[in-house]
Every structure is written in C-alpha cells, then in structure tokens.
Structure 1
Amino acid sequence: MSRSDRSTRAMHQALPPALREAVDDFAEHLSRVRNRSTHTVRAYVTDLVSLFDHAVRMGCVDLAELDLSVLRSWLARQRTTGAARTSLARRAASARAFSAWAHRAGLLPADVGAALASPRAHRELPSVLRADQAAALVDGPTRRVTPTDPPPTDLPNTHGAPTKPARTGPAAEAAVPLRDRVLLELLYATGVRVSEACGLDVGDVDHGRRVIRVFGKGGRERSVPYGVPAQRALDDWLRRGRPAMVGAHSGDALLLGARGGRLNPTTARQIVGAYAEAAGLPRTSPHGLRHSAATHLLEGGADLRAVQELLGHSSLASTQIYTHVSVERLRAAYRQAHPRA
C-alpha cells in the first residue's frame, strides 16, 4: 500500500460515521452499478475523503450540512497547496458526481455540486509518431537482434535484465518476439487502450471479419477492425507462440506474460518503451501508439465520428483533440514551405 493510500485510509477512519458510510456507499455504487474500474473508484474515494476531511475541519459533521461554499472552499485550498488544473478539474468532477448521487439517494436535500465550477483542464496536444516511425516500432520484433541487444521480454528482474519465459527451450524463447509483435500490431492497428489489449481473450478475435471485441471503460463493448499485418501477427502468435508460453494460469487470455498468465499492462508498457528505445525513436508508450493511430486515421480521411467509435470515446470532444494535432502538423508544413509564411 502506498503512502497516499495509507493517508486516505487514515482520514477515512477518522471521519464521522455518517460521512464514512456515505463514502463506502458511493464507492459501492460506482463499482457495482456504474461498473467503474478499481483505479477509478479509488480515485473518487480519495477525492471524497479529502473533501469530507476539509468539511469536518470547517465544522460540517453531517452530510446534510454540505453546501456549495464548502465545495468551493475545498477546491480553493487544493489550489493553494499547488494542485494542478487537471487535478482540480478531476476533483470538482468527483464532487459533482457524489453530490448528484447523494441527492438522488435522498442523502442531500439538493444537488449542491451542480453549480460547482472548475478550471478547464489544460489539454496538451498528444505527441504522435510519424507513420514511418510507427512502422519501425511495430516491425521491431521481426528484426533479429544480437546477444548484446536483447529484445524486451517481460518484467525486469532485480538486476535490471529481462526475464525469460517460465517455460524454457527454443520454442518458448522464440515465442516472446511473436507475442511482442502481436501486441505492437494490435495497439497501433486498432488504437485500443493497453488495458483493453491485455484484457483480450482468444475468443474475442473474429479472424474471418478481422475484428476484435473490446470491453472498454464502464464495461462498454465495441468492435474494432484490424488489418492484414495484424492478422499475420495473430496467426503466427496463435500457431507458434502462444502454445509455447501457455501455462496452468493462462485461461483464455490472448496475450501471455513470462509466467504464462495474462500479460500485465505494466509489462506491456515496458515492452513498447523498450522497442521504441531500441529503434531510436522518441520515448513512446502504448497510449502514444493510440494517439498515433487516431491521428493517422484522421489524416488519411477517416470520419471523426468513426474514429470516436473506434477509440471508444463517450464524448466527441475527446476525439477532437486529434484534429488539433493534424492542424498543427499542417501549420508546421506551411511555415516550412510557404514563402510568405
């Protein structure tokens, strides 16, 4: 447990029983009704415990006493302690979500958070790879490497060297680059989140239509197409790679880790970063490949709504940031090439 988690737990235990019960009930609502991830629920709970700790310090010991002035005072204090605009925006969203739920549940006489404003989070344009750079990254596992330049395999051991698959032998050793190749191909070909890629089961792949079934945020299901290179990588992995790495704990997982279980997103991030570094590319993450896939789709003429569906964005505003990336590229090209720029 991290220091932050321990601090949140201590503040939670110190809250009056009514406020502590409200936090627990809201967390259960997020998990069971809204089907939010464990990470999301933890973030909401952390924000809510911080809010109630501040409210108690202001003399608000009963939930019905929570009002807009308390919410604004809490955000103001967060700002004076150095919280970033993105953090303030998220915490305000947490307060509004709780307030709306508590009002519907009859715990608050009014939805006091509805009028809570928050600073607009500054959204930096995502960094993206050029198409040739993305191709170099995805092709990394197919290039033979020397013993002095080993391919990434899985989580580092205590000495920082790559670990080897639990099942030893030539077949297991050869399976690792096949796994890495299909991971990179799927991330770039489909633009899925790394957690979505690692959550894929063998049965989620429709080879005939070249479509994968993805379960995104909130358990929302969507179908995402992929291309011929990804299909070849999948065929090689399922025919020659996965059988060599499969173990007692593999289940139906499509992508496997070194010990035969489902590939962990943290490991997947390390794999992407290692291949990017080996290819001499800028620091790249799975989310960077997602950014690149979306940008290249739009630059190739894809409809914004179609890209929204592919990425699994609930709001079109989340997808529109990629149009800004394309415009920035156009402006850069204009400044470089036009004599009157």
Structure 2
Amino acid sequence: MATDPSCVRISGPLSAFAAGFADELTNQGYRPGSACKQMGLLAHLSRWLGGEGLGVADLHASEVERFLRARRAAGYGDFLSIKAMRPILAFLRGLGVAPMPPLPMPSGPVETTLERYCHYLTVERGLGSETARGYVDAVRLFLQGRISPDGLALDLAGLTSADVIAFVVRRCPQQGQSAAKLTVTALRSLLGFLHLDGAIAQSLAVAVPSVAGRRLSGLPKALDADQVRRLLASCDSRTPNGCRDLAVLTILVRLGLRADEVARLALDDIDWRAGEIIVHGKANCTERLPLPTDVGEAVAAYLHCGRPARPHGRTVFVRIKAPHRSLSSGGVTQIVAAAARRAGLGQIHAHRLRHTAATQMLRAGASLPEIGQLLRHRRALTTAIYAKVDRDRLRTIARPWPGEVA
C-alpha cells in the first residue's frame, strides 16, 4: 500500500485538486496510510465523474449518492457512506468549486416555531446554545399537541390556561423531578415568547403550575479522595490520549468547570504569567479563575506532548485522531465516562466532578461564598446545598436531642 499521498495517481476532472487535497490531509494531521486511502477515494470519484461526463460542479447530494451506490456495486468494502465523503466534499466546497449542500428547512409548523424560539433564547435572552436546546426539546411535545387538523399550522389563538395546566398534569408525572422542573420552566418561557411573537393575545406563563419538591432536598454526589486518585491514575500520561484526558479530568476536579466550558477553553484563555484562566460560562458570562499548580502542570504537559501539531482552531482540547477539530462537550463527557470505567467507578457524569471540586473545597475549610465564586453561581442559594455535605460542621451547630446528654 502506498505511504505517500502525493504519489496516488488521479485522472479525470478532480486531478487539478489532488495536490491541494494531499496538502490539506497532511495539515489536518492524517497519517500517511489514512491520507493515501482518502486520495484513493478521490481518485475513484474522479474516474467516476469522468465516466459519467460530469465535473466537480455537479457534485450535488444526489450525484454523491449515485457515486456511493456505484462504489458498493463495484465491490468496494470501505468508504461507502456520506460520512466517508466529508473530507473530500469539505475541501472542494471550501475552494468554492463544489456546490454547497442545501440549508435544512424547518419541517412543519412546530419546527418553524421552535427555530424562532431558539433564536429568541440565544439572541434576546442570552442563553447558551446547550441550554436553549434543552428548552426547545422540553416544549416540543406541547407544540405538537397544538397542530391544526390539516397539519399546516399551530392552533394557538384558542390556547387557554386550562390547556396549559392539562399538559403539565399529563406530562410531568411521566418525568423525574429535574426533567419536570425543566418542562415547566421552559413552558413558561415559551408562553412568554409566544405572547411577544403575537401568537397568543396574553401571556399564559402564570398559568403553568409549579413542580412539587423542596429545593435543595438532595445531596451533591461527590467522589472521595481515593476515587479521585483512581480516576486520575486511570490515564496513561505516556500517550497523547492519556495526557489530554488527565488534563481534562484535573480541570474538572480542581476547578469545577462544566463540560462545555472545558470544551470552549482556548489557548488565549490561559494567562501563564498571571496564573489565571478565563472561563466562558453560562449566558455569555466571562470569569477569571486562579490556575492551580497541578492544573497548570497537567495542561502544560498535554500542550507539550499530547496536543496535535496542526489542529483546527485555537481551542486547548482537540481530537487526537485526524481531523484534529475541537473537542465537543460530549467528548468531555465521554472522557469522564471512559476514565470512570477504567477506574472501576461505574457510571460517572462530568457534572459530578463539579460537585467533587466544591466538596473538596468545603472540607479544606473554604466558605460557601468562596465555593460559589469558584462555581460562578449567580445566587447564593444555589451554593447553599453544599452546607449539608460537611457533616463535621453541621454537628457543631446541631442542637442536642431532647433528653440527650450534651
């Protein structure tokens, strides 16, 4: 098998783009063997286009599908999906020589309304994209119940408080407490938007019932010191993957960042001289946090030994395999889950490490306001739940049981 992508012979209408594509694969960090396979796919596509009397400008979605069917029929066993075509199509579209895919259109009145609602949440209300998507998903079922008989519009003009209450009473018992609370919060927000948008005459947000359940009734589930040690020790720092995962986990455990905040962290957000890190949090808020020594050492080791040489963009954490794009919040979550499995800790989500950071600070003597500052809580009540974790402090203020010798 060829190991130099520039040596793959390409004839046909795509031959003029072969050298540029080979350079692009190298820049994206593809290994020679993988790059040669991509060049082989380009060669096959070019031959097929030539045989069909087509050119690069004809690479619409329908023609790409035809090519893939022809490739399967010819007996090829790999690169048989649209996903496999992404590197080639992205390169050619980036040059402006291949047609761009059509923009997806909202399908039906529900998705059209939800698209406007999502825009309202992110632009007008300043919510993060992840939070906005959660709101949209939470109210989709409500809007689906308001589709007109012909399916072409939403019947909102006749919406009443009784309709709103009936939906909540029907929907929330099917959900857990946190999901039910999200449903009613998102529904209030949606009803306010529909009023502003002119779809309903008056806001029905006040008609949405509250979900029963005392605030701060649960306990944050933090890892203990031994579990944290096992989690970090599960990363092999001799490998690029291990270096990256150790840096991610150290940030989560020590600074209590959210998964999407770790994913968005950029090289320019780390001030090595000042020993600070800039965090881009909820609602587009930006905060400066101190950079602990162990966090700085883990990140520096990853940047020196684990981060690919030619990544896309300037985010700190990127995919180890080519193309080296930014790590997503889902990727951060997967890193935590994989490390927990290796350490024999069962299923652990990234947010549990945020609780761990707060609990460690509390047990080290930090005050609740200091913990709230690290976690960037906007309300002191949100941090108050951690007071229930420190049992030693609680014993000092607990009143003796009647009849008990103090």
User: What is the root-mean-square deviation of aligned Cα atoms in Å?
Assistant: 3.3
1:257 to 312, 319, 326: 319
Measure how far apart 1:324 and its partner are: 2.2
Aligned to 1:131: 225
Report if the CA contact (8 A) 1:246-1:256 is conserved.
Answer: no
Measure how far apart 1:185 and its partner are: 1.3
State the distance in 2 between where 1:258 and 1:121 align.
44
3-state SS of the aligned residue for 1:141? coil
Report if the CA contact (8 A) 1:308-1:319 is conserved.
Answer: yes
* Structure 1: runs of 5 or more not aligned: 1-8, 144-172
Aligned to 2:287: 222
TM-score (norm 1): 0.72
**Which of structures 1 and 2 has the bigger CA Rg?**
2
2:299 to 234, 238, 246: 234
Aligned to 2:176: 84
Q: What does 1:172-321 align with in structure 2 at a 5 Å threshold?
A: 174-242=239-307, 245-247=308-310, 249-259=311-321, 260-281=324-345, 283-321=347-385
Measure how far apart 1:286 and its partner are: 2.1
Return the letter of the residue paired with 2:229. A
1:73 to 166, 188, 196: 166
Pick which of 199-208 and 86-95 moved more. 86-95
TM-score (norm 2): 0.62
Measure how far apart 1:187 and its partner are: 1.1
State the distance in 2 between where 1:219 and 1:53 align.
31
* Structure 2: runs of 5 or more not aligned: 1-103, 399-403
3-state SS of the aligned residue for 2:239? helix
State the distance in 1 between where 2:374 and 2:337 align.
24
State the distance in 2 between where 1:52 and 1:221 align.
34
C-alpha spacing 1:282/1:322, structure 2 compared with 1 (3 Å): farther
State the distance in 2 between where 1:278 and 1:227 align.
26
State the distance in 2 between where 1:22 and 1:280 align.
45
Report if the CA contact (8 A) 2:269-2:277 is conserved.
Answer: yes
After superposition, what is the alpha-carbon deviation per residue over 1:265-314, rounded to whole angstroms, capped at 9, x for unaligned?
Answer: 33333332333333344543322211100111122222323322321333
3-state SS of the aligned residue for 2:288? strand
1:118 to 173, 188, 210: 210
State the distance in 2 between where 1:139 and 1:329 align.
31
Report if the CA contact (8 A) 2:319-2:326 is conserved.
Answer: yes
C-alpha spacing 1:207/1:64, structure 2 compared with 1 (3 Å): same
C-alpha spacing 1:340/1:113, structure 2 compared with 1 (3 Å): same
C-alpha spacing 1:340/1:257, structure 2 compared with 1 (3 Å): farther
After superposition, what is the alpha-carbon deviation per residue over 1:240-266, rounded to whole angstroms, capped at 9, x for unaligned?
Answer: 332xx233x432111121222222333
C-alpha spacing 1:67/1:316, structure 2 compared with 1 (3 Å): farther
Q: Does 1:109 align with 2:171?
A: no
C-alpha spacing 1:118/1:267, structure 2 compared with 1 (3 Å): same
Measure how far apart 1:196 and its partner are: 0.8
Aligned to 1:161: none
State the distance in 1 between where 2:203 and 2:268 align.
44
Return the letter of the residue paired with 1:47. A
Q: Which has the higher contact order (CA 8 A, sep 6+)?
A: 1
State the distance in 1 between where 2:183 and 2:372 align.
25
Measure how far apart 1:121 and its partner are: 5.0
State the distance in 1 between where 2:206 and 2:199 align.
15
Aligned to 1:44: 135
